[in-house]
Amino acid sequence: MSGFFGSISKEDCVSDVYYGTDYHSHLGTKRAGMVFFSTEKGFQRKIHNLENSYFRNKFESAIEKFSGKSGIGIISDTEAQPILVTSHLGQFAVATVSKIVNIDELVKRFMKQHRTFSETSQGTINPTELVAMLIAEGEDFTSGIQNVFDSIKGSCSMLILTDNCLIAARDKLGRTPIIIGKKENAFAATFETCSFSNLGFEIEKYIGPGEVVRITADGYEQLRKPNKQMQICAFLWVYYGYPPSFYEGINVDECRYCCGAALAKDDDINVDFAAGIPDSGIGHAMGYSNEKHVPLKRPYSKYTPTWPRSFMPQDQSMRNLVAKMKLLPNNSVIKDKNGVFLDDSIVRGTQLKDNVLDLHKAGIKEVHMRIACPPLTFPCEFLNFSRSRSNLDLATHKAVKQLEGKENVDMKDYSERGNGKYQAMVERIRKNLDLTSLKFQKLDDLVEAIGLPKEKLCTHCWDGSGYF
């Protein structure tokens, strides 16, 4: 995943973009960059590798050299960006939150035109450079952005910085969000609204799917109307989003509370405490605890100063190490107790496996796991959610292979809660993780917790639905 922030102001905006971008650190750990424009210096860009450091540390010295009343920043888990290009549209910078499924097809098309690519992304074509080239095929920015929407399969939201404005264009199906904020003398556009409050911005507008908005320090105008269809990623509320943030006017943490409450209503276990797996499981656990009237306790503390999220390293052994080291058990809460643990999802099961082992070592009697979303049975086609090298990295696919003795099984039956295959898969995952019991959220309950009609949500990873 990636997250971006841009601002345009009547005053210098470097500080706002620096801190606004930093509030997206939970969305990326590999690359980050910022671009500013001033009439004196023109475009100024800096990109850093974040794999061994944090955004603020890397850019702290650089911000003193930046100046400008407009700028954009991004933190990414994929390519180095923003891209700065010169074309018949003038010089502009672009940052994207995207996954381009048909990138090879588009690259071949450009190669046939004798076009060249100068940027790389971990040894391959940089998707954001490809987006910039598609934009430059248009007669203006609006037609260029439409060319992006028409050309790519997957998803793409973007911020474009020119010498006189900021352009925000949300993915054509709205799978990722863009929200406009306003304060005296400045406007901003962001992925996460949690970046607004400490910078003095208030939510002004939720950009619609496929909508394109031109933003200046005086206001904003619509360049393209929103599409009627929307399929925003439901997993934003379950896991990706930061608790204070809002998407489509719906708060992340309130949704997680409702998810936990729904799980409690569908449960009949007797436990001594409820607990959330830090961090994203905490909101779900609060909802469960209050609905079930069981104490909310903290048997695990997350050691945040040095250990990143466990799904980020691509090397499995490193993921295992991160998952093991970052959570510290508290034996006084655990010993001789029955506990129910709430988590956002089970992707690979890397973290849970070590967590449960630690719980047993600490003397827990029963470990009941409740997951805030349905089983992840279909790899994401639309966002860079889980870059597993194989579907068998997913806990669901591993369990199904154990049940059927083969790979590449049709997962449709395993995603339907009411049949025996679903139950057999869940039971196999339970045994693999050494849990006393395991339950996943019903899809209908998750949709209700979010509060949008199902047709406005992308639920592909749970039921295989969705369209390009």
CATH T-level fold of 251-456: Rossmann fold (3.40.50)
Q: Which of 195, 230, 225 is nearest to 458 (CA)?
A: 230
Beta bridge partners of 440: 371
> Over the range 54-70, which residues count as b (16 or more CB within 10 Å of their CB) and which as e?
ebeebbeeebeebbbbb
DSSP-assigned letters across all residues of 350-394: HHHHHHHHHHHHTT-SEEEEEESS----S--SSS-S---SSGGGS
* Interatomic CA distance for residues 197 and 244, integer angstroms: 10
**Looking at this protein, which amino acid is placed at residue 401?**
K
SS (H, E, C) 169-231: ECCCCCCCCCEEEEECCEEEEECCHHHCHHHCCEEEEECCCCCEEEEECCEEEEEECCCCCCC
Phi, psi of 29 (to 5 degrees): -140, 5
The token duo for 241 is: 């989003």
- Residue 385: what pLDDT? 63
Distance (Å, whole) CA 150 – CA 40? 37
Architecture of the domain defined by 2-230: 4-Layer Sandwich (3.60)
Point out the residues of the chain with pLDDT beneath 50: 309-311
Amino acid identity, position 465: S
Chain centroid, CA 9 distance in Å: 28
Tell me, what's the pLDDT at 321? 66
Peptide bond into 358 cis (omega under 30): no
Amino acid identity, residue 236? L
Number of other CB atoms surrounding residue 285 within 10 Å: 29
Q: Which of 283, 331, 325 is nearest to 305 (CA)?
A: 325
Q: What does the alpha-carbon distance between residue 111 and residue 109 come to, in Å, rounded to a whole number?
A: 5
Classify 245 as helix, strand or coil.
Answer: coil
Three-class DSSP category at 341? strand
DSSP H helices, 60-124, are 103-112
| 296: number of Cβ within 10 Å | 18
Q: What is the pLDDT of residue 77?
A: 83
**396-422 CB burial, b ≥16 within 10 A, e <16:** bbbbbbeeeeeeebebeebbebeeebb
What's residue 315's pLDDT?
A: 59
Cα separation, 12 vs 14, whole angstroms: 6
Instruction: Name every residue whose Cβ is closer than 8 Å to that of residue 340 and which is 6 or more positions away in sequence.
Output: 267, 269, 271, 273, 274, 275, 288, 294, 368, 369, 370
pLDDT value at residue 54: 84
User: In which element (H, E) is residue 14 found?
Assistant: helix 14-22
Question: How far apart are alpha carbons 421 and 139 in whole angstroms?
Answer: 53
pLDDT attached to residue 392: 75
The tens digit of pLDDT for each residue in 363-392 reads 999 999 999 999 999 988 888 765 555 677
Q: What is the pLDDT of residue 310?
A: 43
Q: Say what the pLDDT of residue 389 is.
A: 54
Name the residue ranges covered by the structural domains of the chain.
2-230, 251-456
